[in-house]
Chain A
């Protein structure tokens, strides 16, 4: 099984900060990677698919990059609505796996 490792697990930031979250795969997954945002008590929301494609309706301050085993989610200027937990997910095979999550909290 492909393991996904996210870092950091927690990020304390301020509104307006640039935020970078990293996700590493235990083996190459090409560009088969998605990013999600989840708020407490809610279902996850798809932000990015195929490593760098922005899902319809998602603000352009969110971007994704990477291929192979190293991937990054960047929020260019953090907004109040962006405080949440973020997950990566690989879909190199039909047995997908999620990263452990990164909680973005207010500094």
Chain B
């Protein structure tokens, strides 16, 4: 079935790096834009980054611009989020999500991976 599975979360010290992965299956990954969305404990949803199907368009939330990089490997149907210079406010559950083409609404979400930034 169509699904996204995140991995790579964990506990990391402030200032360190972490890379999240999102493995896609059940659909032609290269045909869809994909996004990262996060949710801090007890808070609402915050969009983090987007990457178009061909990889030509990348956008980031101001809160992560210059620190996070979104990229994809279509040959492995996998989306990544490289997170550098992590801060306490980056602590959240990170979800990957697939666009409902041609809408930029998200019809498929992963289960989430937890990132905790703490010394």
The answer to whether B59 touches A46 (Cβ under 8 A) is no
Size category of the A interface is: 20 to 34
Bound Cα distance from A99 to B40, whole angstroms: 15
B47 sits at the interface (CB 8 A): yes
User: Which of B47, B100, B109, B110 is close to A96, meaning CB atoms less than 8 Å apart?
Assistant: B47
The answer to whether A50 touches B103 (Cβ under 8 A) is yes
Q: How far is the CB of B102 from chain A (nearest CB, A)?
A: 10
The answer to whether B95 touches A96 (Cβ under 8 A) is no
The answer to whether A94 touches B104 (Cβ under 8 A) is yes
| Residue total for B at the interface (Cβ-Cβ under 8 A) | 25
A34 sits at the interface (CB 8 A): yes
Which residues of A12-67 are within 8 A (CB) of B?
32, 34, 36, 38, 43-46, 49-50, 55
The answer to whether A43 touches B62 (Cβ under 8 A) is no
A71 sits at the interface (CB 8 A): no
Nearest neighbor of B60 in chain A, beta-carbon distance: A95
Q: How far is the CB of B7 from chain A (nearest CB, A)?
A: 15
Binding site for B on A (CB under 8 A): 1, 32, 34, 36, 38, 43-46, 49-50, 55, 87, 89, 91, 93-101
Binding site for A on B (CB under 8 A): 33, 35, 37, 44-47, 50, 52, 57, 59-62, 95, 100, 103-107, 109-112
Q: Which 5 A-B residue pairs are closest in the complex by CB-CB distance?
A: A91-B104, A34-B105, A43-B109, A49-B105, A101-B44
25 contacts between A and B (CB under 8 A): A1-B62, A34-B103, A38-B45, A43-B95, A44-B45, A44-B106, A44-B109, A46-B100, A46-B106, A55-B100, A89-B45, A91-B103, A91-B105, A94-B52, A94-B59, A95-B50, A95-B61, A96-B35, A96-B104, A97-B47, A98-B37, A98-B44, A98-B46, A100-B44, A101-B45
Given A94-B52, A98-B47, 15 other A-B residues pairs in contact with their CB atoms under 8 A: A1-B62, A38-B45, A43-B109, A44-B106, A46-B100, A49-B100, A49-B103, A49-B105, A50-B103, A55-B100, A87-B45, A94-B59, A95-B50, A96-B50, A98-B44
